[in-house]
Structure 1
């Protein structure tokens, strides 16, 4: 017999409470208990948070039945009388499910109630927040504690509750490093409906019939000194969250109306599994949830080839160049920066890397133009690259600028996407564009405006793309030696600045010196300051393959060891995104684990060393976990609901912004398929397929335009939960009204860049981007 989770009953007076033992043939360990299985919170409309009352009891009746137990309790609370019926059933050997029904036997108007479940640790005398490692993607990876002060970095607390529409797998997991087992609390039924809460005065407590609850981790109050996996229905987010305001981070929550006859049903499951390491527990839990939730791909809106055509046509609308007479620098680039709803260009800024991805777009356009006989695409792409090499390159030290302002006719420094207006506005106009965001980040803005330099990630991305387009041009009989020379000059910069431990800093000034100030922006710990190290690896490997210069491979290997041991194994990935508006500048985000994945895979392909393949596989597991596995219910009146948006397969963005999703994960789909092929990991292939479909679904087509001005446009991101709803910095502005069920009203060149590039990578491996055909080729049938 394998590991089994057994349900036992403890008796206190006439009441009974559940306990769970994790057992095999040789031993049984009491791991969890539920000291108060029936916990009701009651509230009267208009009352304060302090006036919420809690009422907890055990079951008054427990009857054994086929495959489980039927439990009941009645209680009076808040002037009303309730009956709770819990049906406990064994779902699997290691999983128990509870189907809960709450009935208001006698209620009253203008009052509400919430049902809670606390599953409490019971395997040692004391269990603190720091004793366990947690996984609730995308909101919580380990403890979100990069500064290692014992608190979650973005909410500054140890008690964490998340609305279920923020959680990719509808579950929260706690892993015990010493005993090598994980404990999970799962929402067993999928939430089916939700709508906009009625809160005319921005109330933080209100009545609402919503099927969205909350899951999280919470320190057990009183003398027990244990941690609990906590569920609440309907939802409660406390002690802090980003749903309403960025700086204040207040809690909020809903209550079900406590009127006579009101009833609701909700199901949870408790699961305990063994795993040799935290990363294994993560992947085991996530892939089982994918099966539990029966995640299925979203249909593509058109063939992959048609999507390429649409995307590049829309990108070409935003191509801009100036003659030597107009601007001696002769700039050329894809300056896409618009609200896709109207398509009007907001600023003529050419960005390299991150949100700009100009050289990758040039690669895509040139390759597509050559394949389809569109000379205009080819000529424009070559001009973009020539501008990058001839003008954006700092030949004295090898670096590249990140941004060029067409209006100013000069290179500029802006440091962050959300602060992009810094690149094209000043004075009152700047304050007008940024609104309260300017005040919120003023101290950072003032410090950053004195800096002249470039982000490592941005330089690496577009210099890597430079090598790709050089290689492709050469394969077509045209060699641009000056392109390769610029790439090699940049590689010398990387070799000079690499630290003894294999790392690079997050950013460098134009003299080639590392930038670490202000610490809130560039990091306070090694994990943060050196978080972009992995971005150098793919470029160095590509250049090594061209030149056979062993120095590039050696530098990549040194970086790869740091990335695998510290970033991946330590689960300390962060800093991929450059536009934080949260409590700190470094975010735990999807993009910061994508680069370790592709870098370690590139090292494996160059060396055939299994060490790097294992690291790439582990990074891919973390990268995959950012994928939403279920369809979040949206407000019926919302734009996304109107167009039939499905959240399955879309990628989450960052931990403090959980509930905000975007299509960036298309970047790594081809590498995930390759890793799945090399390791035989069919679950990895399934997630890659979900991503390919989910992240491509919102491209505007002639048949379904998503409300966008032009065919081929795609919005940068979407809200499937609430984020900064009441915050004036996102109020009555062009970027405002980013509510649940709406997009973020932003379009940048990175969106078509990563998607079309993903197509080329799949095509080069398999001759197709059709996953049904790829599945047959590599025998990945489930």
Structure 2
């Protein structure tokens, strides 16, 4: 009995291994052996049953370098590479064998050739690697190949980021909570609350535990693993291709990172095909469907990598480099010109109009129910594009919405409830239905920002007389509530008690949009204290979140998972501070947060299985914005704003990558518009959520709102008349055909390839004009150019004058 082979468990399914282990325990216990001996004997079986083989190198085994060039590149990272042939038992790793370079008669009979190219670019060392595997021996099933990079001198302080999936290794506290349940009561009002999420792929935060995370490329916004060594100030980025082609379908690569128990070593794996032992789901995990493939003699597959090594002074500096290189391997995407901004505005404002409820009270509903859910997914935000229509009907409807929402929705402290039913009865809506006084901080931050913007819009339209004193008083009361909470708590937390103003769930960045709201309110209400608090909050949140490489807390349904919505909200907040104060630090910091937002934005045209709905449509998914590490899906645009802060950064810096990021997002948005004009929040390829489908059939109010906002706040065309800078954001093709820089005269050609007539808004300016902050309502002043479907327009821009040219 004592010689039952422990290693046999790696070839058995999990339950069989446990069964044999328990039998062993019973037999040994019956023989009255000491318990600790029993545990020593059967614990390895349980370990392997739960986790399969380890990807870590065998202790003491000296692996020969794959090549001298690769060894030299990785040496500064205390790294080395192994090339492996893998055998699987179901979804578990059952065997590993080294694959030598070239064609050598090993028992596995593989041929491996490696193409290598190295370069030094600015302050980066770059290595391109192409691994060409060919099966030479007998047919084998349930098999794969893998590249393993072993890091010595590893440390748990290393920042590990896999775009849209893993931030800081996801080393956070895990709790068992259902979808949209909020934290447990025992965690409410707890000032020392650590970052808390539901179960997700993570490197364990607990010493001595198994620490391994496994995903595949469908779980990422960019096929990449990014590691920043804080001790050395050294960054490492691995980019790879999507996967291998098997029977006309791309099977995704796997990305695995495993640490040893002492956390002094780690192994990064790119496997083909990707085989995860557990499949990440919307919350938690399910049984993995992943399997190895059959390799017959002559079968060949290729894995491409691009490796980067560079110095960075901090995590924002590291992410700055990543935002520049994230498309380097997958290459330039091929967006489709589908629906021009003006048509999007018409379609989405019509949809929003269909959500207007008329009854005892009348108001715009942001969702598929007769209520207002404040902020977040559109409440008192979807009124902005309707107000921008600037006609009496829509102005009246917006005013009725303001009357209803602000009269009945505000709590004693000045904060608003989560939602307001059609009869004027407030309620919590999400997470804390049994404690409706607890409201998501972000909801109130959104209300503050968007309501002051709408006051400014009405003024700019010449309708200041329609702004009611009661509205102004209530929004000032909201601003005062944020100031009071800040002074008492030093943060705004994830959730607030709208009756007392106290933080209910601490320690997230969910309230960062309040920074922008307070900045706007400081000018509107002539109160400099609002701006002082906004700047203090910006410093706090930048230090405690931006410098740690993630922001959290935007949504009521995700606990404190890292998310995209706080990243773009903080970008907007910092850019607002820059435009209000002129302080360069805020421009730099807004770029840092834009770089973080880029990690959430799909950077390549993922190839879906041909049978999926999006694949049949030929959808291009570059630019889809992922929600959070819990809600693993891409969506059309940011929730819930235009992302115009990216344009403002581009305008202020001239760095085109921010314009290109916004361009991708705007074009992915149109991929979500369905033939009936509806749009859904699902535009995803992730196998944890709505993979390749069109989601809920197009019932998502916040996507109607953010599309309308994009069509307003992003110029269709941006032109500098004094330098060679020209960018088309709209669904058009355009070019500058001639320039007279002395007289700042520019000849432009625009073509509309879509089936819609387009009214294109042009922002043309010179250097002096671009040095001034862009007004919140600047879109009202942009020039308009009409271009018919399939037509081309040629015109000359001279100063503020536009003349037809042929």
- The bucket for the TM-score relative to the shorter chain is 0.7 to 0.9
- 1:120 and 2:137 matched: no
Root-mean-square deviation (Å)? 3.4
Q: Deviations over 1:116-170 (max 9, x none)?
A: 1111225xxx314x14212221112222235579999733543223211322222
- 1:595 corresponds, among 569, 572, 582, to 569
Q: Deviations over 1:400-426 (max 9, x none)?
A: 2231233x652221224xxxxxxxxxx
Residue number in structure 1 paired with 2:87? 42
Alignment partner for residue 474 of structure 2, among 470, 474, 486?
A: 486
Residue pairs, 1:222-261, within 5 angstroms: 225-238=264-277, 240-243=278-281, 246-261=283-298
**Structure 1 residues 184 and 32, CA, compared in 2 at 3 Å: closer, same or farther?**
farther
Q: Which residue of 2 aligns with 1:411?
A: 426
Name the structure 1 match of 2:416. 400
Residue 544 of structure 1 pairs with residue 522 of structure 2? yes
Structure 2 CA distance for aligned equivalents of residues 256 and 755 of structure 1: 42
Q: What CA distance in whole angstroms lies between the structure 1 residues aligned with 2:588 and 2:582? A: 11
SS across alignment from 2:672: coil
Question: Which residue matches 1:89?
Answer: 117
Change (3 A) 1:535 1:661: same
Which segment is superposed worse, 540-549 or 304-313?
540-549
> Which of 437, 458, 461 is the aligned partner of 1:452?
437
Distance in 2 between residues matched to 1:549 and 1:627, nearest whole Å: 37
What is the deviation of 1:744?
Answer: 4.8
- How far 1:366 sits from its partner (Å)? 1.8
1:509-540 per-residue CA deviation (whole Å, 9 max, x = no partner) reads 34224353xxxxx4xxx533xx2231211111
- 1:379 counterpart residue number: 396
CA contact (8 A) 1:95 1:272 kept: yes
Provide closer, same or farther for how the CA distance between residues 501 and 410 of structure 1 changes in structure 2, counting only shifts above 3 A.
closer
Question: Does residue 186 of structure 1 match 2:203?
Answer: no
Q: 1:715 Cα deviation (Å)?
A: 0.6
Q: How far, CA to CA, are the matches of 1:749 and 1:649 in structure 2?
A: 20
Match of 1:675 among 649, 652, 658: 649
State how far apart, in whole Å, the 2-side matches of 1:15 and 1:498 are: 58
Quote the residue 2:323 is aligned against.
286
Q: Which among 589, 592, 607 is matched to residue 615 of structure 1?
A: 589
**Higher RCO (Cα < 8 Å, 6 or more apart):** 1
Q: 2:602 aligns with which of 628, 632, 637?
A: 628
Per the normalisation by structure 2, the TM-score is 0.72
Among candidates 195, 201, 204, match of residue 155 of structure 1: 201
Checking the alignment, whether the CA contact within 8 Å between 2:91 and 2:290 is kept in structure 1 is no
TM superposition shift of 1:554: 1.5
**Change in CA separation of 1:48 and 1:776 when aligned onto 2, cut-off 3 Å:** same
Deviations 1:290-346 (A, max 9, x none): 2443334623422211110011112211211213xxxxxx24222542xxxxxxxxx
CA contact (8 A) 1:360 1:753 kept: yes
Q: Matched residues in 2 for 1:623 and 1:292: separation?
A: 20
1:209 positional shift: 6.4
SS at 2:149 equivalent:
strand
Q: CA deviation at 1:29?
A: 5.5
Once the two structures are superposed, what CA deviation does each residue of 1:675-710 show, in whole Å capped at 9, x if it has no partner? 12223322222212222222233223xxxx1xxxx3
CA distance in structure 1 between the aligned counterparts of 2:237 and 2:583, rounded to whole angstroms: 35
User: Following superposition of structure 1 onto structure 2, how do residues 135-534 of structure 1 map, counting pairs within 5 Å?
Assistant: 135-147=161-173, 154-156=200-202, 157=204, 158-187=211-240, 189-191=241-243, 210-219=250-259, 225-238=264-277, 240-243=278-281, 246-296=283-333, 298-323=335-360, 330-337=361-368, 347-355=369-377, 357-368=378-389, 370=390, 373=391, 375-394=392-411, 396-406=412-422, 410-416=425-431, 448-475=433-460, 476-479=462-465, 480=467, 481-499=469-487, 502-514=490-502, 516=504, 522=505, 526-528=506-508, 531-534=509-512
Say if 1:486 and 1:649 are closer, same or farther in 2 by CA, change over 3 A: same
Distance (whole Å) between structure 2 residues aligned to residue 22 and residue 57 of structure 1 = 16
Residue 410 of structure 2 aligns to a residue in which SS? coil
Q: Structure 1 unaligned segments of length 5 or more: list them.
A: 1-11, 60-70, 196-207, 324-329, 338-346, 417-446, 517-521, 725-737
TM-score, normalization by structure 1 = 0.74
For the pair 1:687 / 2:661, whether they are aligned, the reply is: yes
Q: State the 1:615 CA deviation.
A: 1.8
**Mapped contact 1:646–1:694 kept (Cα < 8 A):** yes
Q: How many residues align?
A: 639
